Amino acid sequence: MALLLIVLERHFRSRVTQRLGAGTARSTVRRTTLTLVAPALVVALTSIGFGIGVPLVSSIRWTREASATTDWSAVFTTIMSSFWIGFLTGLATLLLALPVGILIARFKGRLADVTEGAVFVTHSLPGIVVALSVVYLGINLVRPLYQQVPLLVFGQVIIFLPLVVGAVRTSIEQSRLALEDVSRSLGVSRMATVFRVTIPLAIPGIAAGGALAVLGAMKELPTTLILRPTEVETLATSIWKYSVVSDFGAVGPYAVSLMLLAALPTALLSHVAVVKVAR
Amino acid sequence: MTAALELIGVTHRFDDTVVLDNVSFQVEAGSITAVLGPSGVGKTTLLRIICGFETPQQGRVVINGREVARDGNSLVAAEHRGVGLVPQEGALFPHLSVANNVSFGLKQRRSGESRARTNHLLELVGLAHCADRRPEELSGGMQQRVALARALAPNPAIVLLDEPFASLDAALRASVRAEVVDALRRSKATALWVTHDQQEALSCADNVAVMLDRRVVQRGTPVDLYRSPASQAVAEFVGEAVHLRGQARGTTVSCAMGNLQLARAADGSVTVIVRPEQIELDDSPTETSPRGRVIASRFYGHDGEIDVRLPNDEVVVARLHARLLPPIGTDVALRVNGQALAFA
C-alpha cells in the first residue's frame, strides 16, 4: 500500500514545478476583506476551540483540583527530559535529513530515488513496528545501548526523518539552480556552495523540519514507552501512565506542560510559514 | 591579440538530439563577442559548456590557453575555470546584501583589499550607494548591473552574459545595455554575450557569431555581417530584408527594382535582397525608374516605413524619414542606394 503511494507520488512529482516567468521577485502584498475573513475566522476559532480550548481548560481544571497532591519537582524533571529528548531528536534528525534532502532535491538518479524510497517506507510503518525493530537491534547488536537515550533518539529519528526530509527537500527545490551555478562560476566548490548558498536559502524549510521533529518527539508515545530508559519519564509517557488508571488529577500538570512546551516549536513553525508567504 | 576563449569543433547531444554541431569560434582578449541566434538554438548550452556545467561529447574548450574540456572529458572543474557568469534575470543571492553578492567570489572577503575591490566594482556599475541594500529592493536593471559586478570581481578570464536583458522592458533595456557595455569596456574585460536580439548584438559587440540550426554559420564584425551575410538565412536574421526575384549576370542583377549592382557576383535565377533603408523615394525619376503604389504606411516617430506594390505584384518595404511618408494610395517612384545581395 505504502509502496503504491510512493510510486504514484513520484510519478506526479516528476513534473517539477519551478518559478517561471520573467521579472523580479517581489514581496506579495496580502489583502484581506471582511467577507472573506469572517467565515475563515469562524472555522479557525471553532477548530482552535475544540483542539486547544477543551483540552487546555479541562487540564487546567484537573491541575487545580489536584494541586495539593502534585509533585512539582517530578513534573519539572519530566519537562526537562521531554525537552531534552525532543531537542536531541530534532538535532539528530536534521543532521541526517540535510544531506538526504540535498541528495534527493539536487542529484536526481537511482541512488537518490532509493534513498528517498527507503526514508518514506519507514514513515508508512506504525511507530510500534519501528520501535520493536529497534528493540531487536538493541538486544542483538548494541546491547549496552538498549533502553538508553541514544537508542531512543535513534528510533525517533527513523520515525520523523521522512517529515523533516520532506520539509528540507521542498525548500531546496524552491531555490533556483542558477544560484548554485553562479556560485561555482565564482570559484566556490560544490561542497562550499552547499554551505554558502543551498543551506542558507533553505533555512525556513530546515527550521520548519527541525520544529516538526522536536514537536513529534515530545508527544510521541509508543516508541518512547518501549525504548526509554526505565527511570526516564517524558510528558507523553506520564500522561499515558496516569490516564490508563484514570487518575486525571495527576494527568493535569503534565498535559498543561506538554501543551505549553509544544507551543514553542509550533510558534516557530507558524512564524516560518508567515515569512515564506510574505516572500 | 590572444584568444581568451577558443571553441574547437564542439559537438553536444542530449540523448539523441544534437544541440550543438561542430561549433568553433574564438573570443579575443579584451573584446566583446556576441553569439546571436534565435531562441532554442543551443546558446545557453554553449555557455554551460564553457562554464563547465556540461561536458561536450566532442571538441575542445580552451580558456586563456589552458584546455578545460576535450572530447567528453572535463579537465578543469567549473569553480577553477575563471569564467564569470551573468545569468538571465541576474540571479543575485537573495540572502546576501548587494556588497556581499559582489564579494562572494573573492578570497578573504573581510580583508580591506576585498572591500576596496567590491567598492570599485559597485562604482564601475554606478551602484556604490546601494552596497547595503537587499537584492529584492533593486529594480531589474540594477540587479543585472550588480550581477555583472559580481561576475567581474574575481577578475575572470572571460565573462559570459546569458540574454542579460531579456527580462527588462524595452525602454529600460537600451539604457541598462549601454551601462553594462560601458562597464565592460572600462574594466577591459573579455565578454561573450548570448542574445537573440539583432540590434543588441550589432550595437554592443566587436564581433558576432551567428548561430542558426545548432551551428555557427558566420562570424564577423557587425558591419561585415550586415553588409555581406554569408547566406540568405543570415541576411534575413541580422536585419530586415526585402525579397525580389532576379536574374543575375556577374555583378549586376535585373529585377523589378531595375538593374542593381551586386556586392558579390552571381549568375542565373536568384533571390535579390535589399535592406528597407536602401530604398528611397526618387524625386527626379527617369523613364526607367521603378514605380509602384503605396499600400501601407507605418509611422514610428523617428522614422517610418511604407509598403509599395510594384507593377509585377512584388511588394517592397522602404524606410523613410517620418516627414517623407506618403499617404496610402500614392503612386511613387523609387530608387535603390548601394549594392544588393543575391542568393541562389
The length of chain A in residues reads: 279
Range of the domain at B49: 3-234
Which of B45, B81, B83, B85 to mutate to test binding with chain A, by most A CBs within 10 Å of its CB?
Answer: B85
Alpha-carbon span B100 to A256, nearest angstrom: 46
Higher pLDDT, B331 or A123: B331
pLDDT tens for B288-298 read: 889 999 999 99
Q: Return the percentage of chain A with pLDDT > 70, whole number.
A: 85
Residues B190 and B299 in one domain: no
Task: Answer whether residue B14 shows pLDDT above 60.
Answer: yes
Could you give the strand order of the β-sheet that contains B207-212, starting from the edge strand earlier in sequence? Answer: B83-86, B158-162, B191-195, B32-36, B207-212, B215-220
Task: Answer whether residue A105 shows pLDDT above 70.
Answer: yes
Higher pLDDT, A109 or B260: B260
In this prediction, residues B152-162 reach a mean pLDDT of 93
| Sign of CA pseudo-dihedral B253, B257, B258, B261 | negative
Residues B149 and B114 in one domain: yes
Q: What one-character-per-residue DSSP string does B1-37 give?
A: --EEEEEEEEEEEETTEEEEEEEEEEEETT-EEEEE-
A201 and B CB contact within 8 Å: yes
In this prediction, residues B168-184 reach a mean pLDDT of 86
The CA distance from B47 to the nearest CA of chain A, in Å, is 11
Asked whether the beta carbons of B270 and B247 are under 8 A apart, the reply is: yes
All residues of chain A having their beta carbon less than 8 Å from the beta carbon of residue B51 are: 181, 184-185
User: Residue A269: which residues within 8 A CB-CB, separation 6 or more?
Assistant: A208, A211, A212, A215
Q: Chain B: which residues have CB within 8 Å of chain A?
A: 48, 51-53, 77-85, 87-89, 91, 93-95, 104-105, 136, 138-140, 143, 147, 150-151, 153-154, 166-167
Residues B205 and B339 in one domain: no
Residues B124 and B77 in one domain: yes
In this prediction, residues B249-272 reach a mean pLDDT of 91
Nearest CA in chain A to B51: A185
Nearest CA in chain B to A193: B79
- pLDDT, residue A153, reads 86
Q: Please, is A46 exposed, middle or buried when counting C-beta atoms within 10 Å of its C-beta (0-12, 13-18, 19+)?
A: exposed
A181 and B CB contact within 8 Å: yes
Which of A182, A187, A196 is nearest residue B91 as measured by Cβ atoms?
A182
A274 pLDDT tier (thresholds 50, 70, 90): low
pLDDT tens for B292-315 read: 999 999 999 889 999 999 999 999
A277 pLDDT tier (thresholds 50, 70, 90): very low
Q: Which of B184, B200, B234 is the last residue of a domain?
A: B234
Size of interface A-B (CB pairs under 8 A): 76
pTM of the model: 0.78
Higher pLDDT, A142 or B243: B243
Q: What is the CA radius of gyration of chain A?
A: 22
Domain assignments of chain A as residue spans, ordered by start: 54-278
- pLDDT, residue A159, reads 86
Residues B295 and B196 in one domain: no
Higher pLDDT, B97 or A54: B97
In this prediction, residues B152-173 reach a mean pLDDT of 87
Residues B229 and B245 in one domain: no
CATH number for B278? 2.40.50.140
Higher pLDDT, A3 or B235: B235
Task: Answer whether residue B177 shows pLDDT above 70.
Answer: yes
Which of B80, B95, B167 is nearest residue A23 as measured by Cβ atoms?
B167
**Greatest distance between any 2 Cα atoms in chain B:** 78
Phi-psi region of B162 (alpha: psi -120 to 50; beta: other; left: phi over 0): beta
- pLDDT, residue A279, reads 45
In this prediction, residues B231-257 reach a mean pLDDT of 91
Q: What one-character-per-residue DSSP string does A190-224 give?
A: HHHHIIIIIHHHHHHHHHHHHHHHHHHHHH--HHH
CATH architecture of A54-278: Orthogonal Bundle (1.10)
All residues of chain A having their beta carbon less than 8 Å from the beta carbon of residue B83 are: 185
The interface predicted TM-score (ipTM) is: 0.84
Nearest CA in chain B to A184: B79
* Record: contact B93-A181, CB cut-off 8 A: no
How many Cβ atoms are within 10 Å of B46's Cβ, its own excluded? 29
CA distances from A44 to A39, A40, A55, B30 (A): 9, 6, 16, 64
Task: Answer whether residue B167 shows pLDDT above 90.
Answer: no
B35: cell is: 553569439
A35 pLDDT tier (thresholds 50, 70, 90): confident
Task: Answer whether residue A215 shows pLDDT above 90.
Answer: no
Q: According to the per-residue pLDDT averaged within each range, which of A139-143, B8-12, B168-172 is highest?
A: B8-12
Residues B179 and B46 in one domain: yes
- pLDDT, residue A192, reads 93
A40: cell is: 475563515
Nearest CA in chain A to B158: A185
Which of A19, A24, A191 to mutate to test binding with chain B, by most B CBs within 10 Å of its CB?
Answer: A24
Alpha-carbon span B297 to B291, nearest angstrom: 16
Q: Which of B185, B204, B234 is the last residue of a domain?
A: B234
* Record: contact B87-A200, CB cut-off 8 A: no
Residues B119 and B139 in one domain: yes
Tell me the pLDDT of chain B averaged across its residues: 90
- pLDDT, residue A12, reads 65
- pLDDT, residue B76, reads 93
- The DSSP bridge partners found for residue B67 are B62
In this prediction, residues A23-35 reach a mean pLDDT of 60
Q: Which residue has the cell 539583432?
A: B198
All residues of chain A having their beta carbon less than 8 Å from the beta carbon of residue B81 are: 185
Higher pLDDT, A197 or A40: A197
B80 pLDDT tier (thresholds 50, 70, 90): very high
Q: Which of residues 246-275 of A touch B (CB under 8 A)?
A: none
* Record: contact A23-B89, CB cut-off 8 A: yes
Residues B225 and B272 in one domain: no
Residues B176 and B56 in one domain: yes
- pLDDT, residue A209, reads 86
Which of B52, B95, B140 is nearest residue A201 as measured by Cβ atoms?
B95
CATH number for B94? 3.40.50.300
All residues of chain B having their beta carbon less than 8 Å from the beta carbon of residue A174 are: none
Residues B57 and B76 in one domain: yes
pLDDT tens for B22-33 read: 999 999 999 999
Of B104, B110, B109, residue with least CA distance to B91: B104
pLDDT tens for A181-203 read: 999 999 999 889 999 999 998 88
In this prediction, residues B96-118 reach a mean pLDDT of 90
The total domain count for chain B is: 2
Of B175, B97, B170, B88, residue with least CA distance to B136: B97
pLDDT tens for A44-84 read: 888 877 777 777 787 787 777 777 777 778 888 888 888 88
Nearest CA in chain A to B160: A185
Residues B119 and B264 in one domain: no
Phi-psi region of B188 (alpha: psi -120 to 50; beta: other; left: phi over 0): left
* Record: contact A24-B53, CB cut-off 8 A: no
The CA distance from A21 to the nearest CA of chain B, in Å, is 9
Q: Which of B234, B255, B290 is the last residue of a domain?
A: B234
What's the start-to-end Cα distance of chain B, in Å? Answer: 37
Identify the weakest region by mean pLDDT among A224-238, B32-46, B214-228.
A224-238
